[in-house]
Amino acid sequence: MEANINNKYWDLIAKYLTNECDKDEIDYLFNWINESEENKLLFNQAKQDLKIININKSMNKINVDSAWEKLKGRIQEDEQALPLKEERKVRKLQFPFLLKYAAAIILLVSVGFFTTKYYTSLKNGYYNITEITAKNEINKQITLPDGSVVSLNAESKLQYPEEFTGTERKVKLTGEGFFNVTKNPEKPFVIETDNAEVRVLGASFNVNTRISESNVEVFVETGLVELKRKNNGGEKLLIKPGNVGVLTKNKLEKTINTNNNIIAWKTREIIFREDKISDVIHILNTVYNTSIICENQQVLNLKYTSTFVNQEINSVLNVICVTFDLKVEYKNDKIYLIKQDS
């Protein structure tokens, strides 16, 4: 594919996919599409991406033309840096959303997630890898090709193929995600992280790769889940419902879960039972992807008991402030809890 496709083709694709082309423009576009297999691939991928994006979301808040131009430039830069070569895995399109209006949605941080696709070149053609990155959106739900559903926590990323071929259903996770896997005894579901593999036939469970450096935590809600180290002889353990498996640099172990809020980021049910305010703040920051700070050690040592279900962070903080005579101050994307008399 040429590194710099004429602007008119980008615009024609965008216009066609938003039903704005006249007959002459349609004829012109399809003549270009039929010139090469790569042109067909690009156009067909744009059609698929339109199904992924909610185009109506936040349309009145963004500069469509500016977003489109920025996106187009990034695509062309990636094409120049990574030319297509046969029989080699390459990153083909870093941002292949060739839709003028969809581009604006992708580039807007407040939308909460990005979808990226790239292609793996094979002797018999191409297959697509989709990469979903949840930015500031918590509990972003993704339905995989086999019907399994994944909920991504904020600042997390999932990669998966357009279809599961071969003997496994393999995906790659960075960050944290809750998986509800469709049962298929003939084709295990495998989650790959930097230093571990999680393998199931059908189950619901949470995988967290960011509890600390190089560690992986797996909490099982239903079914049986295998947690396996990638190296060191493939050390592994089987985790039952209600248990937590933890892989660290030096050990692999499982225990009964005692953390009421281990998947509160997904369920939106937060339970505090005589927890220190310091722990309450840590849990709230994890669940809501916030940066709450309290510098008063006396306040941090106070104990708190309560339950919140589907509450916004402002509502939760209001209750805590009333309970302990605190006030909230917002500064530079941080939330400070301060004693009223300070």
pTM: 0.66
Rounded CA separation 15/46 (Å): 12
Q: Are residues 3 and 60 in the same domain?
A: yes
Rounded CA separation 53/112 (Å): 12
Write down the residue that tokens 């040592």 correspond to. Answer: 301
Comparison of pLDDT for 258 and 4, the residue scoring more? 258
Cα atoms found within 13 Å of the Cα of residue 192, Cβ hemisphere only: 9
Q: Are residues 217 and 202 in the same domain?
A: yes
Residue 184 lies in a domain: yes
pLDDT average, residue stretch 116-129 = 46
Q: How confident is the model at residue 48 (pLDDT cuts 50, 70, 90)?
A: low
Question: Looking at 120-129, 136-145, 290-299, 309-318, which range is the least confident one?
Answer: 120-129
Residues 149-176: tens digit of each pLDDT: 999 998 899 999 888 988 999 999 999 9
CATH number at residue 215: 2.60.120.1440
Residue 161 lies in a domain: no
Q: Which domain holds residue 204?
A: 139-156+167-254
Residues 211-223: tens digit of each pLDDT: 776 689 999 999 9
Residue 72 lies in a domain: yes
pLDDT at position 199, please? 94
Q: Are residues 17 and 78 in the same domain?
A: yes
pLDDT at position 8, please? 64
Residue 259 lies in a domain: no
Residue 263 lies in a domain: no
Q: Are residues 181 and 244 in the same domain?
A: yes
Q: Are residues 107 and 202 in the same domain?
A: no
Residue 243 lies in a domain: yes
Q: Are residues 43 and 127 in the same domain?
A: yes
Q: Are residues 132 and 148 in the same domain?
A: no
Instruction: Please count the structural domains in the chain.
Output: 3
Are 225 and 257 in contact by the 8 Å Cβ rule? The answer is: no
Q: Are residues 248 and 332 in the same domain?
A: no
Q: What is the 3-state secondary structure (H, E, C) of the chain?
A: CCCCCCHHHHHHHHHHHCCCCCHHHHHHHHHHHCCCHHHHHHHHHHHHHHHHCCCCCCHHHCCHHHHHHHHHHHHHHHHHHCCCCCCCECCCCCCCCCCHHHHHHHHCHHHCEEEEEEEEEECCEEEEEEEEEECCCCCEEEECCCCCEEEECCCEEEEEECCCCCCCEEEEEECEEEEECCCCCCCCEEEECCCEEEEECCCEEEEECCCCCCCEEEEEEECCEEEEECCHHHCEEEECCCEEEEECCCCEEEEECCCCCCCHHHHCEEEEEEEEHHHHHHHHHHHHCCCEECCCHHHHCCEEEEEEECCCHHHHHHHHHHHHCEEEEEECCEEEEEECCC
* Residue 10 structure tokens: 């980008």
Q: Are residues 204 and 248 in the same domain?
A: yes
Comparison of pLDDT for 46 and 187, the residue scoring more? 187
Amino acid at position 6, single letter? N
Rounded CA separation 116/95 (Å): 6
pLDDT average, residue stretch 46-50 = 61
pLDDT at position 47, please? 65
* Angle (CA) 231 232 237, round 5°: 85
Hey, what's the torsion of the CAs at 210, 129, 131, 16, to 10 degrees? 180
Q: Are residues 94 and 185 in the same domain?
A: no
Comparison of pLDDT for 86 and 257, the residue scoring more? 257
* Residue 218 structure tokens: 């797996």
